[in-house]
Amino acid sequence: MKIYDDIPYFDGHNDVLLKLFYSKNKIKINDFIEGNENYHIDIPKINKANFIGGFFAIFSPNEKPTEDFFSRMKANTYNYKLPEPLLYPQALSTTISMISILNDIKTKLINRILICKNSKDIKDSINDNKIAIILHIEGAEAISENFDSLGILYSLGVRSIGPVWSRSNIFGHGVPFSFPSSPDTGPGLTDLGKELIKKCNELNIIIDLSHLNEKGFWDVAKISTSPLVATHSNVHEICPHSRNLTNKQLEAIKNSEGIVGLNLATAFLRTDGKMEEDTNLEIILRHFDHLINILGEDKVAIGSDFDGAKVPLKIKNLEGMNVLKEFLLNSGYNKNLVIKLFSQNWLNFFYKHF
């Protein structure tokens, strides 16, 4: 038995549902169950990584993502135009389709997956050795102006919402993919966006700040009665990408009793902002050290961005999280701290606030 074998992993963000959505016909469900090298996350990798659950994102793209999206982030500097706002009918249709895919997998994997709607569900899932899934919407385009569809999505299990992906919508403005750049890139939440935050508070829906620009971040901080959460974001002082958080933002998250999930996407880790798989693990350690220094050991976790980004080649996919566990242990982190970062901090946050 290896020292990390009993360290469970709970992930703050992945995009496997988007990949499954674009797979051909019903083979996509078998891909997830039987395993496939095209996916960062699937059942065989879940078993090997001691994966106990995570936020499963639903992202509605304007069109099928291509490799060009990542290759443009290999330049020394970049600031490219984001897609036009997505229409509500398309976003709602895509969102419902991805929830349906997850439910199909759940049906086929009897007693293996639980879509969690509160902290009790998460506790029950872990106790019953199930995969605890929190449904997350990345960009609120599937929510109507009158908020009718918010109730529908809530009834289907959605318990986490990022008001925007980087593309703007009726609720606010996200950060572009820009390097080097401040996250202060434009206006924040709209009036509808501010209303969305209040509705999420009423329903105890987690509000994810990861793609909001800085003004939007401070709008949420002012309005929300819930702790501030960034499920998959990194340190701007180390990697000056528009997607990353400043020290002032990190302090605000700490003061709200919130939490940050470190993102493994290499463009948000590297000091040169490049989406290159050939990225050493020491840069992850630097981000962890910085986050822990500001937030403390109990408010830092991981939001991998698996199946939605390029991650370091030494990690490669979910199974490679064992490599990261071993690396952190060999770098001087004690086992108790690694357990906190990989799962316990997320779980404690849910047990207290969800």
Residue-wise pLDDT tens digits, 197-243: 999 999 999 999 999 999 999 999 999 999 999 999 999 999 999 99
Residue-wise pLDDT tens digits, 97-108: 999 999 999 999
What is the average per-residue pLDDT within 334-349? Answer: 98
pLDDT at 272 over 60: yes
The pair phi, psi for residue 329, each rounded to 5°, is -65, -40
What is the average per-residue pLDDT within 77-96? Answer: 93
Which structure tokens are listed for 45? Answer: 């990798």
pLDDT at 45 over 90: yes
Question: What pLDDT was estimated at residue 27?
Answer: 59
Under the banding of pLDDT at 50, 70 and 90, the label for residue 1 is confident
Contact present, 95 and 149 (Cβ < 8 Å): no
Nearest to 102 by CA among 17, 184, 2: 17
What is the average per-residue pLDDT within 267-296? Answer: 98
Reduced 3-state DSSP string for the chain: CCCCCCCCEEEEEECHHHHHHHCCCCHHHHHHHHCCCCCCCCHHHHHHHCEEEEEEEECCCCCCCCCHHHHHHHCCCEECCCCCCCCHHHHHHHHHHHHHHHHHHHHHCCCCEEECCCHHHHHHHHHCCCEEEEEEEECCCCCCCCCHHHHHHHHCCEEEEECCCCCCECCECECCCEECCCCCCCCCCCHHHHHHHHHHHHHCCEEECCCECHHHHHHHHHHCCCCCEECCCCECCCCCCCCCECHHHHHHHHHCCCEEEECCCHHHCCCCCCCCCCCCCHHHHHHHHHHHHHHCCCCEEECCCECCCCCCCCCCCHHHHHHHHHHHHHCCCCHHHHHHHHHHHHHHHHHHHC
Using alpha carbons, list the distances in angstroms from residue 197 to 118, 147, 172, 194, 348.
Answer: 19, 12, 11, 5, 23
What is the average per-residue pLDDT within 309-314? Answer: 98
Under the banding of pLDDT at 50, 70 and 90, the label for residue 83 is confident
Residues in the chain: 354
d(CA 287, CA 289): 5
Question: What pLDDT was estimated at residue 25?
Answer: 54
What is the amino acid identity at position 156? Answer: L
Contact present, 14 and 41 (Cβ < 8 Å): yes
Residue-wise pLDDT tens digits, 111-160: 899 999 999 999 999 999 999 999 999 999 999 999 999 999 999 999 99
Question: What pLDDT was estimated at residue 67?
Answer: 84
- The residue that leads in pLDDT, 26 or 129, is 129
- CA max distance for the chain: 55
